[in-house]
Amino acid sequence: DKPLTISKLLSMRAEGEKIAMLTAYDSTMSALLNRCGVETILIGDSLGNVIQGHSSTTPVTVEQVAYHTECVARANTHAFVIADLPFASYGDPAQALDSAAELMRAGADMVKLEGGDWQVDIIQYLVERSVPVCAHLGLLPQSVHILGGYKVQGKSKDAASLMLEQAIACEQAGAQMIVLEAIPSSLGKIITDSLSIPTIGIGAGADCSGQVLVLQDMLGISPGKPPKFVKNFLDGHASIEAAVKAYVREVKSGKFPGLEHGFAG
């Protein structure tokens, strides 16, 4: 198989074929995810939590994401590779382009940034300069110190319609994909139905165009109580490879996420 392109992901979205995404931070897991048919690999700034042991993603630097992107990219054969622009690395267009360029040079096919209509200028600036952008709405982990914790977003009618407007603004600015995190499943469906780019949900219901989880979470090896949207795929499977294959299968068939992994409006 040739590496997946954004055109292929857009046509999967158009045809209603679910997209399976997982995070990875190293070449061993990158190779494994590739063997298991994972279509997109995210080098998330969740590496601050799962690799570095921080309690938030805010200490993560561009250099660190670039390093892990290089590690993943070296073993990548098929997957579309997305790297997170970390906290305070895209404060203005020029800084965003410098940061994104570092991640693209490290092997990213696309960069992801957190935020909605207030990032429109940044998204447009990057896309016009040939950097593919994935937006990220709902729970924004880089804003944890503003939010005062990790909370479900978009629950009120007003918050939901505002988020829908923000998602539309991101698509109009040129974002080619959007991650939706910890929002009511009903809002995940409304946003997905209102956009033509793929929506990738994490705690956003089964109607998104695809799903993502943090690898350590879906293997059940992250310390502490997992968020509601996490399913332990290693449970009942004899190997990491079997667990990842089950994840891909369940995302593709729509079995994951179940109702129990979602939030009510």
Q: Is 27 annotated as a binding residue?
A: no
Least Å from the CB of residue 149 to Na ion: 17
User: Exactly one of 30, 33, 45, 240 binds Na ion (CB under 5 A); which one?
Assistant: 45
End-to-end, the C-alpha distance of the chain in Å comes to 40
In this chain, which stretch among 42-50, 89-97, 183-191, 247-255 interacts with ligand KIV, using CB under 6 A?
Answer: 42-50
For 184-207, letters b (16+ CB in 10 Å) and e give: bbbbbbbbbeebebbbbbbbbbbb
Active site residue 181: yes
How far does Cα 67 stand from its chain's mean position? 18
User: Which residues are CB-neighbours of 200 under 8 A, at least 6 positions away?
Assistant: 19, 21, 40, 134, 177, 178, 179, 180, 208, 209, 210, 211, 212
Residue among 102, 181, 241, 250 flagged as catalytic: 181
* DSSP strand pairing (199-202 vs 19-23): unpaired
Q: Does 140 bind ligand KIV (CB under 6 A)?
A: no
| 131 within 8 A of 100, measured Cβ to Cβ | yes
User: Exactly one of 20, 23, 222, 261 binds ligand KIV (CB under 6 A); which one?
Assistant: 23
Contact track, ligand KIV, 196-235, x by CB under 6 A: ------x---------x-x---------------------
Alpha-carbon torsion, ordered 80, 22, 202, 256, to 10 deg: 110
In this chain, which stretch among 39-47, 92-100, 220-228, 246-254 interacts with ligand KIV, using CB under 6 A?
Answer: 39-47
Taken in order 37, 39, 43, 44, the sign of the CA dihedral is negative
Within 10 A of 135 (CB to CB), how many other CB atoms are there? 27
Least Å from the CB of residue 60 to ligand KIV: 9
Burial classification of residue 116, based on how many CB atoms lie within 10 Å of its CB (0-12 exposed, 13-18 middle, 19 or more buried): buried
Least Å from the CB of residue 114 to ligand KIV: 8
Locate the DSSP E strands across 37-170.
40-43, 80-84, 110-112, 133-138
Contact track, ligand KIV, 146-185, x by CB under 6 A: ---------------------------------x-x----
Q: Is 112 annotated as a binding residue?
A: yes
Least Å from the CB of residue 238 to ligand KIV: 26
| 192 within 8 A of 209, measured Cβ to Cβ | yes
User: Exactly one of 30, 65, 73, 84 binds ligand KIV (CB under 6 A); which one?
Assistant: 84
Q: Does 138 bind Na ion (CB under 5 A)?
A: no
In this chain, which stretch among 36-44, 96-104, 150-158, 192-200 interacts with Na ion, using CB under 5 A?
Answer: 36-44
Nearer to Na ion, 45 or 207 (CB): 45
Binding residues: 45-46, 84, 112, 114
Residues classed as catalytic: 181
